[in-house]
Amino acid sequence: MKEDSDAPRGPRPMTAFLISLAVSSVLMGILLLSDRRVLELRRARSEVTTLDRQIAERRQENAELKAAIEAANRHEFPAEKVAREELHLVQSDDVVLLYPPGALTKPSGTPIPGAAPAPTPRPR
């Protein structure tokens, strides 16, 4: 029986299990601690994307406002143009000239000065 005690023993399952459990616990703790940083990085990247989109929208809005300011400086008001041309509205200090219907257009039979006369049709 003495020979059995001097012989090398095999691995003990309980010791291997405890060592494996300890190593796994340490690795899991490291992963959880480092994962918080990964989540912070993801959150920061999504925030950067959102801010980039907002910056692009604000730049577009600024360009539109600058164009409106330049148009106002040149006295080009789109709303006023529509009101005058389509709705026939005038300002209080405008002088309005009223012409009878058809006075500004030439009848179809009246020749245009300087134009070549239309050919007369020949009888058949």
Q: How far apart are CA 79 and CA 88, in angstroms?
A: 12
Q: Is the pLDDT of residue 51 over 90?
A: yes
Q: Per the domain annotation, does 80 fall within a domain?
A: yes
Domain residues for the domain of 80 are: 41-93
Number of domains in the chain: 1
Q: Per the domain annotation, does 67 fall within a domain?
A: yes
Q: Per the domain annotation, does 35 fall within a domain?
A: no
Q: Per the domain annotation, does 89 fall within a domain?
A: yes
Q: What is the pLDDT of residues 55-85, one digit of tens each?
A: 999 999 999 999 988 887 887 777 777 787 7
Half-sphere exposure of 75 (CA within 13 A, CB side): 0
Q: Per the domain annotation, does 18 fall within a domain?
A: no
Whether pTM > 0.75 for this model: the answer is no
Instruction: For residue 66, give the amino acid letter.
Output: K
